[in-house]
């Protein structure tokens, strides 16, 4: 099975384990790259997306800690761009080295990716994605009055700024990404869900304070490049029902309607497995020829050999 077009969405643990230093993240990505090149060796075209949750959170804290008139903190859209750059660099470097190890001559390129969202998306009326540090109620009120930001109480741990998580509508750089793929290059794109941008009445685009779910951005990208396979990597080899219960059951080959039934039963945790399942459903629904797989990085070799992992297909 060669020459499939594959979008691989890296999970957070592919980059960051416990040590947030650049060195540790580069080491984690060197290990990640060794698994990813198996797909390239197999003759597949590869587009890689990645998360940036912990990295953008850390960068925000650094910005706020140093915030002053001479060195003002940057807005969230700029921080997403910065982490797309830094993680893109680490991943490019790791993949180039892993390709050299197996004597494959391929170019790897990262695209700083802007993702269009609808300024009338209802998510903007109900910001729900917590970012940045914890504040006391007084600090949160003061900060909100000063900047107009929204704050919510977070699980008894304090108050945190919340931003909208709108749905991705379109990938601004899609033509460039397609051109790079046509030239046989390995592309890293839509990092951290992409930089959210909206269009105004004059047709101008600008960044917004928001966070796009990385699984949905990856799914949007997979559809636009007409991928044959959309692989969502996570910490487990399979998605499960009755997870961590005595009757836990791994899902191997599963249809959209079966998954929708499990979603109604509340089988998948919101904020972790649920968006992955929903992105996989959307992909195979909108691209019936395609398949989606949820599995772990370690399982990629088995996936190539024997279709291992949770494989999501449209209804027969």
Q: Which residues are marked as active site?
A: 12-13, 129, 214, 276
CA 86, 88, 89: angle at the middle one, nearest 5?
65
Contact status, residue 196 vs residue 208, Cβ threshold 8 Å: yes
CA distance 198 to 168: 10
Torsion sign across C-alpha atoms 303, 92, 217, 62: positive
Q: What are phi and psi of 120, to 5 degrees?
A: -95, 10
Residues 134 and 157: beta-carbon distance below 8 Å: yes
Buried b / exposed e along 216-252 (16+ C-beta atoms within 10 A): bbbbbbbbbbebbbbbbbbebbbbbbeeeeeeeeebe
Contacts of 122 (CB under 8 A, 6+ apart): none
């Amino acid at each position: 099975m060669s020459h499939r077009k594959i979008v691989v969405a890296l999970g957070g643990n592919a980059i960051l384990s416990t040590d947030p230093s650049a060195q540790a993240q580069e080491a984690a990505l060197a290990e990640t790259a060794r698994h990813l090149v198996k797909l390239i060796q197999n003759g597949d075209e590869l587009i890689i997306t990645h998360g940036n949750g912990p990295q953008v959170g850390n960068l925000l804290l650094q910005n706020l800690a140093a915030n002053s008139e001479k060195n003002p903190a940057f807005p969230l859209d700029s921080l997403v761009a910065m982490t797309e750059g830094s993680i893109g660099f680490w991943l490019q470097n790791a993949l180039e080295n892993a390709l050299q190890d197996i004597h494959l001559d391929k170019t790897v390129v990262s695209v700083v990716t802007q993702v269009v969202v609808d300024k009338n998306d209802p998510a903007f009326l109900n910001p729900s994605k917590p970012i940045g540090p914890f504040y006391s109620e007084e600090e949160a009120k003061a900060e909100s009055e000063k900047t107009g930001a929204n704050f919510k109480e977070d699980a008894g741990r304090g108050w945190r700024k919340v931003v909208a998580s709108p749905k991705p509508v379109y990938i601004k750089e899609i033509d460039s990404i397609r051109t790079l793929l046509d030239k046989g290059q390995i592309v890293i794109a839509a990092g951290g869900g992409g930089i959210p941008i909206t269009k105004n009445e004059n047709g101008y685009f600008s960044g917004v304070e928001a966070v796009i779910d990385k699984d949905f951005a990856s799914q949007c990208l997979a559809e636009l490049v007409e991928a044959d396979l959309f692989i969502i990597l996570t910490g487990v080899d399979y998605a499960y029902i009755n997870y961590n219960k005595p009757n836990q059951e791994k899902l191997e080959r599963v249809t959209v309607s079966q998954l929708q039934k499990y979603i109604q039963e509340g089988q998948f945790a919101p904020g972790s497995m649920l968006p992955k399942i929903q992105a996989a459903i959307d992909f195979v629904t909108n691209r019936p020829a395609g398949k989606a797989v949820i599995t772990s990085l370690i399982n990629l070799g088995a996936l190539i050999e024997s279709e291992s992992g949770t494989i999501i297909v449209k209804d027969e």
